[in-house]
Structure 1
Amino acid sequence: MQFKPLHDRVLVKRVESDEKTKGGLIIPDSAKEKPAEGEVVACGEGARKDSGELIAMAVKPGDRILFGKWSGTEVTIDGQELLIMKESDILGIIKASGSKAKAA
Protein backbone atom coordinates (compact mmCIF):
# COMPACT_ATOMS: atom_id res chain seq x y z
CA MET A 1 0.00 0.00 0.00
CA GLN A 2 1.37 3.40 -0.99
CA PHE A 3 -0.62 5.88 1.11
CA LYS A 4 0.66 8.39 3.68
CA PRO A 5 -1.81 10.62 5.54
CA LEU A 6 -0.99 14.31 5.76
CA HIS A 7 -0.57 16.48 8.86
CA ASP A 8 -2.38 15.05 11.93
CA ARG A 9 -4.42 12.44 10.09
CA VAL A 10 -4.28 8.69 10.79
CA LEU A 11 -5.14 5.70 8.58
CA VAL A 12 -6.93 3.03 10.64
CA LYS A 13 -7.99 -0.56 9.94
CA ARG A 14 -11.01 -1.64 11.99
CA VAL A 15 -10.57 -4.68 14.24
CA GLU A 16 -13.34 -7.17 13.60
CA SER A 17 -15.53 -8.18 16.53
CA ASP A 18 -16.47 -11.72 17.48
CA GLU A 19 -19.22 -13.42 15.50
CA LYS A 20 -20.55 -15.20 18.59
CA THR A 21 -21.77 -13.94 21.92
CA LYS A 22 -20.40 -15.30 25.20
CA GLY A 23 -23.46 -17.55 25.35
CA GLY A 24 -22.65 -19.06 21.93
CA LEU A 25 -25.25 -17.26 19.81
CA ILE A 26 -24.09 -16.34 16.29
CA ILE A 27 -24.58 -12.67 15.41
CA PRO A 28 -25.66 -12.07 11.78
CA ASP A 29 -23.82 -9.40 9.76
CA SER A 30 -26.96 -7.25 9.58
CA ALA A 31 -27.14 -7.01 13.39
CA LYS A 32 -23.46 -6.26 14.01
CA GLU A 33 -22.31 -2.79 14.92
CA LYS A 34 -19.13 -1.51 13.35
CA PRO A 35 -16.33 -1.82 15.87
CA ALA A 36 -14.93 1.34 17.45
CA GLU A 37 -11.55 -0.30 17.84
CA GLY A 38 -8.81 -0.40 15.26
CA GLU A 39 -5.15 -0.65 14.39
CA VAL A 40 -3.14 2.30 13.11
CA VAL A 41 -1.83 1.53 9.62
CA ALA A 42 -0.12 4.86 8.84
CA CYS A 43 0.27 8.34 10.35
CA GLY A 44 1.02 11.82 9.12
CA GLU A 45 3.95 13.76 10.52
CA GLY A 46 1.81 15.74 12.96
CA ALA A 47 0.08 19.09 13.27
CA ARG A 48 1.88 22.45 13.19
CA LYS A 49 1.57 25.28 15.69
CA ASP A 50 1.04 28.84 14.49
CA SER A 51 4.79 29.34 14.92
CA GLY A 52 5.45 26.49 12.46
CA GLU A 53 6.74 24.10 15.12
CA LEU A 54 5.76 20.45 14.57
CA ILE A 55 3.59 18.74 17.20
CA ALA A 56 4.56 15.05 17.15
CA MET A 57 1.87 12.37 16.84
CA ALA A 58 0.94 10.42 19.98
CA VAL A 59 0.15 7.27 17.97
CA LYS A 60 2.29 5.20 15.62
CA PRO A 61 1.65 2.40 13.11
CA GLY A 62 0.76 -0.83 14.91
CA ASP A 63 -0.96 0.87 17.88
CA ARG A 64 -4.39 -0.50 18.80
CA ILE A 65 -6.78 2.40 19.38
CA LEU A 66 -10.31 3.21 20.47
CA PHE A 67 -12.25 5.87 18.54
CA GLY A 68 -15.72 7.40 18.49
CA LYS A 69 -18.59 5.60 16.77
CA TRP A 70 -18.95 8.20 13.99
CA SER A 71 -15.27 9.14 13.67
CA GLY A 72 -13.37 9.27 10.43
CA THR A 73 -14.08 8.94 6.74
CA GLU A 74 -14.41 5.48 5.22
CA VAL A 75 -12.16 4.82 2.22
CA THR A 76 -11.19 1.76 0.18
CA ILE A 77 -7.50 1.41 -0.64
CA ASP A 78 -6.17 -1.67 -2.44
CA GLY A 79 -9.47 -3.46 -1.75
CA GLN A 80 -9.29 -2.86 2.02
CA GLU A 81 -11.90 -0.83 3.87
CA LEU A 82 -10.06 1.70 6.04
CA LEU A 83 -10.77 4.91 7.96
CA ILE A 84 -8.98 8.24 7.76
CA MET A 85 -9.41 10.35 10.88
CA LYS A 86 -7.75 13.19 12.72
CA GLU A 87 -5.65 12.30 15.71
CA SER A 88 -8.07 14.27 17.90
CA ASP A 89 -10.84 11.73 17.02
CA ILE A 90 -8.85 8.98 18.77
CA LEU A 91 -10.07 8.40 22.32
CA GLY A 92 -7.10 6.36 23.53
CA ILE A 93 -4.48 3.70 22.91
CA ILE A 94 -5.24 0.17 24.10
CA LYS A 95 -2.22 -1.40 25.81
CA ALA A 96 -1.84 -5.18 25.82
CA SER A 97 -1.76 -6.53 29.36
CA GLY A 98 0.92 -9.13 30.09
CA SER A 99 -1.09 -11.07 32.63
CA LYS A 100 -4.76 -11.01 33.43
CA ALA A 101 -5.99 -11.04 37.01
CA LYS A 102 -7.92 -14.16 37.99
CA ALA A 103 -11.49 -13.72 39.14
CA ALA A 104 -11.99 -14.82 42.74
Structure 2
Amino acid sequence: MLPEKPQGKALRAMIAAVGLGCKGKGGESQPVSVQVGDKVLLPEYGGARVVLDDKDSFLFRDR
Protein backbone atom coordinates (compact mmCIF):
# COMPACT_ATOMS: atom_id res chain seq x y z
CA MET A 1 0.00 0.00 0.00
CA LEU A 2 1.33 3.43 -0.94
CA PRO A 3 0.51 6.55 1.07
CA GLU A 4 -1.45 9.25 -0.71
CA LYS A 5 0.53 12.13 -2.13
CA PRO A 6 -0.12 15.30 -0.12
CA GLN A 7 -2.34 17.68 -2.03
CA GLY A 8 -1.04 21.25 -2.25
CA LYS A 9 -3.22 24.32 -2.36
CA ALA A 10 -3.82 25.63 -5.90
CA LEU A 11 -2.13 28.96 -6.51
CA ARG A 12 -4.45 31.35 -8.31
CA ALA A 13 -3.65 34.71 -9.85
CA MET A 14 -5.13 37.39 -12.06
CA ILE A 15 -3.20 38.55 -15.12
CA ALA A 16 -2.14 42.18 -14.62
CA ALA A 17 -0.13 42.67 -17.84
CA VAL A 18 1.03 40.69 -20.88
CA GLY A 19 3.83 41.09 -23.37
CA LEU A 20 3.77 41.08 -27.16
CA GLY A 21 4.34 37.35 -27.55
CA CYS A 22 7.31 35.65 -29.17
CA LYS A 23 8.64 34.59 -32.54
CA GLY A 24 8.07 31.04 -33.72
CA LYS A 25 10.67 28.82 -35.38
CA GLY A 26 9.74 30.19 -38.80
CA GLY A 27 9.88 33.80 -37.60
CA GLU A 28 6.10 34.21 -37.39
CA SER A 29 4.65 36.06 -34.40
CA GLN A 30 2.91 33.89 -31.81
CA PRO A 31 0.40 35.80 -29.67
CA VAL A 32 0.16 35.39 -25.90
CA SER A 33 -2.53 32.89 -24.84
CA VAL A 34 -3.86 34.97 -21.91
CA GLN A 35 -5.31 38.47 -21.62
CA VAL A 36 -5.27 41.08 -18.87
CA GLY A 37 -7.91 40.19 -16.28
CA ASP A 38 -7.83 36.43 -16.94
CA LYS A 39 -7.66 34.21 -13.86
CA VAL A 40 -5.05 31.45 -14.02
CA LEU A 41 -3.56 28.64 -11.94
CA LEU A 42 0.17 28.92 -11.25
CA PRO A 43 2.80 26.25 -10.73
CA GLU A 44 4.09 25.84 -7.18
CA TYR A 45 7.63 26.70 -8.27
CA GLY A 46 8.97 28.98 -10.97
CA GLY A 47 8.43 32.52 -12.08
CA ALA A 48 10.49 35.53 -11.14
CA ARG A 49 9.46 37.70 -8.20
CA VAL A 50 9.58 41.45 -8.82
CA VAL A 51 8.56 44.35 -6.58
CA LEU A 52 6.92 47.34 -8.29
CA ASP A 53 5.52 50.26 -6.27
CA ASP A 54 5.79 48.16 -3.08
CA LYS A 55 3.61 45.40 -4.64
CA ASP A 56 4.87 41.86 -5.11
CA SER A 57 4.40 40.55 -8.64
CA PHE A 58 5.60 37.44 -10.44
CA LEU A 59 6.72 36.99 -14.03
CA PHE A 60 5.95 33.72 -15.86
CA ARG A 61 6.58 32.55 -19.41
CA ASP A 62 3.60 31.64 -21.55
CA ARG A 63 4.21 28.05 -22.67
Question: CA offset at residue 68 of structure 1?
Answer: 0.4
Unaligned runs of 5+ in 1: 1-32, 89-104
Question: Does residue 26 of structure 2 align to residue 51 of structure 1?
Answer: yes
Structure label with greater radius of gyration: 1
- Name the structure where helix makes up a greater proportion of residues: 1
The TM-score, its normalising length taken from structure 1, stands at 0.49
Question: CA offset at residue 65 of structure 1?
Answer: 0.4
Inter-partner Cα distance in structure 1 for 2:45 and 2:9: 10
> CA offsets, 1:34-84, max 9 Å, x none?
861101011111111122210111101100000100120111011100000
Secondary structure at the aligned position of 1:42 is classed as: coil
Number of residues of Structure 1 aligned to a counterpart in Structure 2: 56
Inter-partner Cα distance in structure 2 for 1:44 and 1:81: 18
Query: Would you identify which runs of 4 or more consecutive aligned residues in structure 1 move more than 4 Å?
Result: none
